[in-house]
Amino acid sequence: MSSRPTLILGSTSRYRRELLERLRLPFITVSPQVDETPLSGEAPAALACRLALAKAQAVAEQHPGAIVIGSDQVADVDGEPIGKPGTHERAVTQLQRMSGRTITFQTAVAVVRGDTQFAQTLLAPVHVRFRTLSDAEIEFYLRTEEPYDCAGSAKCETLGITLLDAIDSDDPTALIGLPLIRTSQLLRAAGLNPLEGAAP
């Protein structure tokens, strides 16, 4: 009987941890220690894919027998990558810029398994239509939610949903930060089926 490989989430994000818990697989989390600075001229989708894979590879190098998940999300505003605001002022600027517009959140997931040389990445773009927001609405939302660790300041799982008119995605958890349909697809390809445990 084959043993179940260790599953590692290469992330310290509590949002991704809570999402992965939905698959009911035992896993641990490890900080990937990856420089997330965009390359010159790098498109948002390419940045998200590169960082997701880099995070998974960084952890897999330390745990070669494990299956490692890496993920990254970048907001795409006019082709410019917009990440986590970090501060209230930057969050205000981000939301003012996205007000009344449709923004694509590029969410990438990668799975790496060092002992079999498996390494694949999938992209789950999410198209988000923001309402036209008043400065007072932006201020109230930010003071209430403090979403400074969320790409584009959009925390849709709570009050942030009221900022939006529509979300268009074929992977419902992608906007929160980990597209579970694609994650499950990659886990199966790497040899771990959430519905079966370790694949033969």
- Residue 67 exposed, middle or buried by CB count within 10 Å (0-12, 13-18, 19+): buried
- Record the tokens describing residue 119, joined without a space: 């390494």
Catalytic one among 35, 72, 78, 171? 72
Pairing of strands 28-29, 7-9: parallel
Q: Is 119 helix (H, G, I), strand (E, B) or coil?
A: strand
Q: Is the CB of residue 25 less than 8 Å from the CB of residue 85?
A: no
Q: Is the CB of residue 199 less than 8 Å from the CB of residue 193?
A: yes
- Residue 151 exposed, middle or buried by CB count within 10 Å (0-12, 13-18, 19+): buried
The reply to whether 72 belongs to the active site is yes
Q: Is the CB of residue 101 less than 8 Å from the CB of residue 46?
A: no
* Terminal Cα-to-Cα distance of the chain (whole angstroms): 8
**Per-residue DSSP letter, 159:** G
Which amino acid belongs to residue 53? Answer: L
- Residue 17 exposed, middle or buried by CB count within 10 Å (0-12, 13-18, 19+): middle
The set of catalytic residues is 72
